[in-house]
Amino acid sequence: MTHTQRIKRYVQFFGSFAKTLEVLAVWENIKPCARILVYEDDAPKTISYLRSFPLQVVTADFKIDLWQSSTASGYSSKGGIIPVSGGEGRKGYLVLYVSKDLERALAAKAAEQAQDHASLGAALGYPGCCSRFFSHYAQEEQKRHNTFIRPLLEHSARTGALGHANHHGAHQFPPAYPFQNNIFLRAQDICLLSHIPCSLDCPKSLEEGNKMMRLLQRYSASIAQEFGAALKKGVLVTEEGISILLEGTAITGATVSIKAAASPDPFARVLVEQLTRAKAFEALPQGGILVEEMIYSNYTFVQFS
């Protein structure tokens, strides 16, 4: 069996590239521990399969009832906690901590149980700066959409990453972000990072993304190329987690010309249709975009390369 056949087989079993990459990263000693969600009906066979690698698997004492995402894209980052036993018979997702080291998996479980985000991030091998960022905004994000997109964009803006008006008042876009830090396609199951970076140009996250890209390239150069191509596209995002992929972007002042726009999210349908007709939009100094004389104040344009 070739590496490409093997990774496709793993994706078929786990149901996503994200879970597959996490498991392979642990198996290949790139990550010390992975945290994955598995629907409880699928948990017994998943745990058995992981242990056959062999890998250590520890299960959290709670399960998660993922709420319907406001993006209606099948992806949600927000949910409620249900006891593993009880919960009035409600089904949910079990949290599995997967590692070659049983003590590491147990440490991750204990940290999450205690809501100790810093220790959980350390157990999972996340960059310290990103764990601190997550911990700082966790309570605030629970009251919003739990995507962390608003603070991520704010932090990235402070590092000069999101465009600004120059001394002549004209809008300027800085160099594109590294595609390895692009987390906006998670709903499409395209992402190299399992954590939220503290900014879109976080160097520690870039290191982690490069490790994952090299791992993917070892298993399948063609799949890695597809991932890279998708992650390098420009994107329009909202803090709710809606993403619109932009093909063939070209920037002139505040105007962004495009060849095509697409999104799997039905909430983005009207804007995608407008972008498809107009083939361009204007980034507004106060934030948001202008398309066909309509202002969308909740969208931010981000470019990657």
Supply the pLDDT for residue 83.
Answer: 74
Question: In DSSP terms, which residues pair with 200 in a beta bridge?
Answer: none
| Residue indicated by tokens 């690698």 | 53
| Number of structural domains the chain divides into | 1
d(CA 133, CA 136): 5
| Domain containing residue 234 | 3-302
CB 300 within 8 A of CB 280: no
Mark the ranges of the chain whose per-residue pLDDT is less than 70. Answer: 66-79, 85-89, 158-172, 174
Supply the pLDDT for residue 2.
Answer: 82
Supply the pLDDT for residue 143.
Answer: 87
pLDDT digits (tens, 9 = 90+) for 5-57: 889 999 999 999 999 999 999 999 999 999 999 999 999 999 999 999 999 99
CB 183 within 8 A of CB 138: no
pLDDT digits (tens, 9 = 90+) for 225-246: 999 999 999 999 999 999 999 9
Of 59, 129, 53, nearest to 94 (Cα)? 59
> For the chain, percent helix, then strand, then coil, each to nearest 5?
45, 20, 35
CB 35 within 8 A of CB 111: no
d(CA 182, CA 166): 26
* End-to-end Cα spacing for the chain: 33
The first and second tokens of residue 214, run together, are 């090299």
- What is the layout of strands, in order, in the sheet containing 93-99? 34-39, 93-99, 56-66, 79-83
Supply the pLDDT for residue 158.
Answer: 62
Enter the DSSP assignment of 159: T
CB 237 within 8 A of CB 221: no
CB 239 within 8 A of CB 150: yes
Enter the DSSP assignment of 208: H
Supply the pLDDT for residue 174.
Answer: 64
